[in-house]
Structure 1
Amino acid sequence: MKFLYTPVQGTSATTISRFARHRGPFIALRTLSYVKGVMAPLTAAQIQLHPEYANVDWELKADTKERISVAKGRGGPFKLSYELHGHGPKKLLFICGLGGFIRSWQRQIKDFGHAQADKYTVLAFDNRGMGMSDKPFMRYTTTEMAKDIVELLDHVGWIADRSVHVIGVSLGGMISQELALLIPTRICSLNLISTAPRIIRTKPFLENIRNRINLVVPKEIDAQIAKVKSDCYSQSWLDMPDETEHVVQPFPTNGDRFAAAELSKRSSTRQFTRKGYLLQLLAAGNHSKTAKQLSQLGDRVGRQRILVFHGTIDRMITFEPHATLLLKELGGEEGGVTKVFYDDCGHVASFEKRREFNAFISQHVEKTENL
């Protein structure tokens, strides 16, 4: 069977042809409609019938994949799951955001750890509370989560001075700040993505916290995913045809691919739990680094080694005041910090601006390797 597109009256031929490349075999007949020239999102039920749904999590073979014990004497021990990809001299550590798994970084794992395996070694892992890592019921803090990472780095032998490039997004960026304070001399570059030194209690943020909690409160799945999409991505990107490489056929839009990945993640009741999600959420909400602490971080790591990246239309951790505050308290551009404030970009630049994001990271890695 083929996709059957039924445009509403008045839809232009140009708009229809824009999506024509997505026609292909499908296991269930479906009628798509356009609203104001934009394809309506697939429902959760339709996404699960799409032939690409089974392939949203890529088969990227790790060079090393195991679970290690961490946090002995700190409420543990418990298991932390990690993977190593590639065998190059430049060591990249990717730290997930709230509710993220290793698979959250699969684009960068592929682009750095496979396509450039001779140049990079990628270390990705599941934070406590998510994925294949254990989910102990205890208070999570960004400091304790950073200590988990120190033990992981020790285990894989990433202990030399100026040897580790840290890339942390959102909650992962908060953990990265703590990690840099714990092991400043190991850090070759510190890349803080869509994050904050502390959460300013603005009304939009408090609404986002409620919305985040609501993600694990039973309700209609399509409404849950629609809210995550609007908080984390620009509408223009969501509405664009699926630009990610595919196995069988593309999804109609980027938004549909994201929804498929989110559905796949939530379908794994072992890896994604309400308990783990809420414990991570509390860690993010309680993260707080003062101006003095950030100044010390800049002194110890070196401001030329720090990059602050934030999308200007981020609705999860808002651009203002968080991005400008983080940049200022680290020492600012005048102190040597690299600033990337990206227009028309939401919370997850590694998806939405994949090529540009990767380019900024690789350029910063090269710069700091030569300091």
Structure 2
Amino acid sequence: MKPYRTSGMAKDVKDLLDYVQWDQDRSLHIFGVSLGGMLSQNLCLLIPKRIKSISFVSTRCGSVLDIPSPRAMATLLNIVCRKGPYKKRVDLLLELLYPASYLNQSTANGQTRRDDLLKYYQTWFDRPQQLPLSGIFGQFCATAFHHCSDSCLKRIAAELYPAKIAVISGNQDELIDPLRSFELRGKLPGSELILFENAGHILNSQAPQQFNLLMERIIAEGNEAFQTKS
């Protein structure tokens, strides 16, 4: 099994964009979530002039002391190793991705959001076409060893300007500490920090309407930044 690197994954994205000829200046609005946010940091270094807006969602820039909590590590290892019954594994995953207050909310069908999410995740958990263990291991390594230095982040802010840069997090994220978003915001001059109250790691799932409205605003501000002044 070979570990992945976020730099290599970003190169893959660039190659795909080049292949489909999506290479125009200031033509991209990027929303990078979790590992996607780490990958996006490297993509910004590769193609800064193609980007109109970049949103780093529930993610981190990485440092020596920035490692997942023991609880998060144990949960992820159980899932990777497929240890224990399906329902127990998914329950542990849900508790890592969503606040308990959200999971316990009642839904219109008389169940809870936890029940609905269990059914949703069952559509892709424990299926023959599931991601092979080598792929899971590769992504785990890419996340664990990701690091975008202070100088690289400063370069991103300078080379993307005047593109819109947003850093977005839930204030109850158990997988990636919200403090990592404050750190990222502090190292990206001119960026905006947006915190979702009572929200966990998967913002687009937990608060889809609020998240979609935010996406529309960020895209609009990215477009406005490059409008020709009359």
TM-score where L is the length of structure 2: 0.90
2:107, 2:52 → 1: CA distance? Answer: 35
CA spacing shift, 1:199–1:231, aligned 2, 3 Å? farther
Post-superposition CA distance 1:24-59 (Å, at most 9, x none): xxxxxxxxxxxxxxxxxxxxxxxxxxxxxxxxxxxx
CA spacing shift, 1:150–1:210, aligned 2, 3 Å? same
The answer on 1:235 being equivalent to 2:100 is yes
**What does residue 209 of structure 1 align with?**
73
Point out the structure with the larger helix share: 2
Match of 1:306 among 165, 174, 197: 165
Secondary structure of 2:53 counterpart: strand
Residue identity in the other structure for 1:352: Q
Describe how 1:65-214 pairs up with structure 2 within 5 A.
137-198=1-62, 201=65, 205-214=69-78
- Percent same amino acid at aligned positions? 27
Secondary structure of 2:194 counterpart: strand
Q: Is the 8 A contact 2:67 2:144 kept in 1?
A: no
2:174, 2:63 → 1: CA distance? Answer: 13
Unaligned runs of 5+ in 1: 1-136, 244-249
Instruction: State the Cα distance separating 1:210 from its structure 2 match.
Output: 3.0
The number of aligned residues is 224
Instruction: State the Cα distance separating 1:370 from its structure 2 match.
Output: 1.2
Secondary structure of 1:317 counterpart: coil
Instruction: State the Cα distance separating 1:259 from its structure 2 match.
Output: 1.6
Q: Is the 8 A contact 1:304 1:337 kept in 2?
A: no
Q: Is the 8 A contact 1:170 1:195 kept in 2?
A: yes
CA spacing shift, 1:251–1:161, aligned 2, 3 Å? farther
1:359, 1:200 → 2: CA distance? Answer: 35
**What does residue 181 of structure 2 align with?**
323
1:232, 1:313 → 2: CA distance? Answer: 9
Instruction: State the Cα distance separating 1:234 from its structure 2 match.
Output: 1.4
The answer on 1:362 being equivalent to 2:204 is no
**What does residue 69 of structure 1 align with?**
none
Q: Is the 8 A contact 1:304 1:368 kept in 2?
A: yes
Residue identity in the other structure for 2:197: D
Unaligned runs of 5+ in 2: 226-230
The answer on 1:259 being equivalent to 2:118 is yes
**What does residue 228 of structure 2 align with?**
none
Q: Is the 8 A contact 2:61 2:184 kept in 1?
A: yes
Q: Is the 8 A contact 1:174 1:287 kept in 2?
A: yes
Instruction: State the Cα distance separating 1:189 from its structure 2 match.
Output: 0.5
Instruction: State the Cα distance separating 1:202 from its structure 2 match.
Output: 5.8
The answer on 1:222 being equivalent to 2:87 is yes
Larger-Rg structure:
1
Secondary structure of 2:181 counterpart: helix
Residue identity in the other structure for 1:330: L
Residue identity in the other structure for 1:225: V
Residue identity in the other structure for 1:277: I
Instruction: State the Cα distance separating 1:139 from its structure 2 match.
Output: 2.6
1:220, 1:311 → 2: CA distance? Answer: 29
CA RMSD, Structure 1 to Structure 2 (Å): 1.8
Q: Is the 8 A contact 2:176 2:201 kept in 1?
A: yes
Instruction: State the Cα distance separating 1:255 from its structure 2 match.
Output: 1.6
1:264, 1:251 → 2: CA distance? Answer: 21
Match of 1:338 among 189, 192, 197: 192
Q: Is the 8 A contact 1:311 1:346 kept in 2?
A: yes
TM-score where L is the length of structure 1: 0.57
Residue identity in the other structure for 1:235: A
Instruction: State the Cα distance separating 1:207 from its structure 2 match.
Output: 3.5
Q: Is the 8 A contact 1:213 1:278 kept in 2?
A: no
1:304, 1:155 → 2: CA distance? Answer: 24
Q: Is the 8 A contact 2:99 2:200 kept in 1?
A: yes
Query: Taking CA–CA contacts closer than 8 Å with sequence separation of 6 or more, which of the two structures ends up with the larger relative contact order?
Result: 2
Instruction: State the Cα distance separating 1:265 from its structure 2 match.
Output: 1.1
Residue identity in the other structure for 1:226: D
Secondary structure of 2:124 counterpart: helix
Instruction: State the Cα distance separating 1:346 from its structure 2 match.
Output: 0.2
